[in-house]
């Protein structure tokens, strides 16, 4: 059965960091894997993992209907040329326009809704448009994976997917051997918090900085690190000038971006993600896998991973005071209590979020999609 499968996503970086295990499993099964994504600094490295890269221009943050029509036509042209046996979509525009193009060519589609993004933060014209795009794009998809119960239920309640299509997936999965806790390091005197993620306001970066200011009033030696991409195109992006101002004020230390988050997480005492909403945040899974206590907002996605008082603490969303209080509470615990939280997080990741579970779900969905395509289209 194996033939050609296309994975489409908005960045090659995402493929290299989050889809390696899936790609290795597909290739072991005999599939030819083609990645359809914009060319970036990581594109050349896809060949290292046995993947063919086909460049496609995607304006991820753009809202122009004319540009999006152009993207749909580019998808159709490329998919028709590659002629894959299945299309796997990740992130918003590949899930919408890539799916529409593949379905028009009779190619079965599997989608991954890894998060809902800014459009779903509140009601309004943008959400109305995005919901209708999803409804059209997903109606013929063989499988639509979601990463938390709330996102799945929202799409079901809104009529964007059918119950038989919608399945839960434990995030992108964690390579438990690669993300294994290191031997205890000799800790510096200053307690260190770390936020890992794209530097977007909706990730709670502003609340993290304000919480740092509040915590420093009581514990001035505390350190606050930021690690992640500084973006420019996203409407929710934190400006470089803001980060520089925070560093000048000595509130946070910006660590830049990296291909390997493990040493940075290992050097921290606690991983923090005060996000407004998530699918299933990779950063929290990585922190838990490395046996670090976690602090996160009590929102969909985050509360799937953080069990309050067990492997970390939850705080109110968009509330720097609540976040600061959680930080202070964690710092006041003794080393043994924090170590117990880290161990509980690692045990949970081993139990629920291993990469093998994600791979098995994809291979099963792929078999079903190919079988369904060979037996004819589903009724609309």
* DSSP secondary structure letters along 272-341: EE--S--SS-HHHHHHHHTT--EEEESSTTHHHH--BTTTEEEE-TT-HHHHHHHHHHHHHS-HHHHHHH
Which pLDDT value is given to residue 373? 75
Residue with the two structure tokens 């079903």: 368
What is the model's pTM?
0.89
Give the model confidence (pLDDT) of 362-377 as tens digits.
999 999 999 887 655 4
For 183, the 3-state DSSP assignment is coil
- Nearest-angstrom CA–CA distance, 242 and 245: 5
Which pLDDT value is given to residue 60? 75
Which pLDDT value is given to residue 380? 32
CATH class in words for 4-173+354-374: alpha beta
Give the model confidence (pLDDT) of 182-218 as tens digits.
876 555 678 999 999 999 999 999 999 999 999 999 9
Q: Residues near 336 by Cβ (< 8 Å), separated by ≥ 6?
A: none
Contact at 8 Å (CB) between 31 and 111? no
- In the chain, DSSP assigns E strands to 4-8, 32-37, 52-55, 86-90, 109-113, 143-146, 166-168, 192-196, 223-227, 253-254, 270-273, 294-297, 312-315
Which pLDDT value is given to residue 282? 94
Give the model confidence (pLDDT) of 220-276 as tens digits.
999 999 999 887 667 789 999 999 999 999 999 999 999 899 999 999 999 999 999
Candidates 281, 338, 337; CA nearest to 305 is 281
Task: Please list the residues that pair with 168 across neighbouring strands.
Answer: 146
Residues of the chain with pLDDT under 50: 377-380
For 5, the 3-state DSSP assignment is strand
Would you kindly state where each structural domain of the chain is located, as residue ranges? 4-173+354-374, 192-352
- In 179-218, DSSP assigns E strands to 192-196
Does 192-352 match 4-173+354-374 at the fold level? Answer: yes
Candidates 236, 246, 257, 238; CA nearest to 209 is 246
Which pLDDT value is given to residue 171? 87
Is CATH 2.60.260.20 what the domain over 192-352 is classified as, yes or no? no
Contact at 8 Å (CB) between 269 and 338? yes
- Nearest-angstrom CA–CA distance, 272 and 312: 10
């Amino acid at each position: 059965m194996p033939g050609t499968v296309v994975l489409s996503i908005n960045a090659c970086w995402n493929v290299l960091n989050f889809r390696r295990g899936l790609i290795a499993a597909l290739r072991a099964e005999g599939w030819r894997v083609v990645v359809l994504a914009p060319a970036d600094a990581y594109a050349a490295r896809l060949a290292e993992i046995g993947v063919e890269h086909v460049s496609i221009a995607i304006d991820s943050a753009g809202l122009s209907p004319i540009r999006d029509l152009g993207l749909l036509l580019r998808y159709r042209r490329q998919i028709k040329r590659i002629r894959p046996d299945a299309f796997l979509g990740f992130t918003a525009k590949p899930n919408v326009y890539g799916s529409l193009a593949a379905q028009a060519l009779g190619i079965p589609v599997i989608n991954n809704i890894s998060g809902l993004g800014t459009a779903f933060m509140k009601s309004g014209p943008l959400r109305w448009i995005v919901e209708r795009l999803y409804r059209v794009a997903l109606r013929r998809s063989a499988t639509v994976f979601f990463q938390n119960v709330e996102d799945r239920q929202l799409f079901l309640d809104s009529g964007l997917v059918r119950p038989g299509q919608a399945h839960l997936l434990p995030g992108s999965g964690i390579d438990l051997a690669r993300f294994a806790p290191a031997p205890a390091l000799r800790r510096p005197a200053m307690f260190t918090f770390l936020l890992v993620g794209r530097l977007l306001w909706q990730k709670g970066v502003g609340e993290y900085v304000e919480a740092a200011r509040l915590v420093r009033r009581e514990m001035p030696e505390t350190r606050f690190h930021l690690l992640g991409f500084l973006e420019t195109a996203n409407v929710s992006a934190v400006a470089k000038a803001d980060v520089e101002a925070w560093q000048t004020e000595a509130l946070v230390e910006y660590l830049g971006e990296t291909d390997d988050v493990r040493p940075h997480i290992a050097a921290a005492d606690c991983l923090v993600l005060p996000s407004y909403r998530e699918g299933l945040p990779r950063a929290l899974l990585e922190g838990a896998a490395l046996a670090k206590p976690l602090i996160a907002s009590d929102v969909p996605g985050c509360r799937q991973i953080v069990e309050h008082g067990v492997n970390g603490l939850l705080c109110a969303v968009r509330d720097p005071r609540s976040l600061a209080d959680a930080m202070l509470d964690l710092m006041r615990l003794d080393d043994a209590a924090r170590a117990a939280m880290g161990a509980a997080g690692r045990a949970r990741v081993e139990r629920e979020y291993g990469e093998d579970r994600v791979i098995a779900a994809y291979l099963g969905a792929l078999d079903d999609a190919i079988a369904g395509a060979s037996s004819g289209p589903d009724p609309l």
